Structure 1
Amino acid sequence: MRRETAARLVTGDWESIKEGAQAVRYDVFVVEQHVPLEMEWDEMDALSLHVVAYDDAGKAIGTGRLLPDGHIGRMAVRPEARNSGLGGRMLQALMDKARERGDQTVVLHAQTQAERFYQRHGFAREGEEFMEAGIAHVTMRRELC
């Protein structure tokens, strides 16, 4: 059964949103999925627009980023907030920001276990499965017009 979450979404640059985004990404990618720490942080964080979701207690429970070239990435939701609609809300917020700045298309590298989630949000798979940080991924694209 799906439960909705009343999380508050905040978008901003890396400096204004870093604390919440790092906390979620560290717990989900580094701890839970064993992504090497040195692969998680990169120079694109400072150039990207980020979204962070906060629960009623002010705890960061989800995050994602939109790169200058229209790639969406680093989408992560803490286990206690999964299957609540939060991932879709964050994804929509990033697509809205991409559309506002004039992007025609957004692209992402989806973990294969999340491919159906992105398909439900209008993304289509392109090409074959590949490995990234030791996790199987596929490239997916969505037109925004």
Structure 2
Amino acid sequence: RLAVTRRARGLGVGAALVRAIEDAARDLGLTAVDLHAQTRALGFYERLGYTAYGPEFQDAQIAHRAMRRPLGPA
């Protein structure tokens, strides 16, 4: 799970965390990152290049969608 306190939202902390995960995935030779996003956070991940796929599902009684972003060179 990824969470940023309200005071820190909008400062780029969440995007920096996602980019760090992507960098680590590239270092491991992975070609894509998949995640499960709360539906209310889809726009955040879409702005980072992720695309939703598959049906909506419940996780901890919260609506989610699977998302993926292919990784190119850094």
User: Which TM class, normalised by the smaller chain length?
Assistant: over 0.9
Give the structure-2-normalised TM-score.
0.93
Q: For 2:29, what is the secondary structure of its paired residue?
A: coil
Which structure would you say has the larger Rg?
1
Structure 2 unaligned regions, length at least 5: none
> Which of the pair has the greater relative contact order for Cα pairs under 8 Å at 6+ separation?
2
Distance in 1 (CA, whole Å) between partners of 2:9 and 2:39 is: 17
**Equivalent pairs: percent with the same residue?**
47
Tell me which stretches of 4 or more aligned residues in structure 1 moved more than 6 Å.
Answer: none
- Check if 1:143 corresponds to 2:70: yes
- Check if 1:82 corresponds to 2:9: yes
Summarize deviations over 1:66-88 as a string: whole Å, max 9, x none.
xxxxxxxx111111111111100
- Give matches, 1:1-145, under 5 Å: 74-145=1-72
Task: State the 1:96 CA deviation.
Answer: 0.5
Distance in 2 (CA, whole Å) between partners of 1:110 and 1:83 is: 18
CA RMSD in angstroms, aligned pairs only:
0.7
Paired residue type of 1:75: L
Q: For 2:49, what is the secondary structure of its paired residue?
A: coil
Task: State the 1:128 CA deviation.
Answer: 1.2
Count of residues paired in the alignment: 72
Structure 1 unaligned regions, length at least 5: 1-73
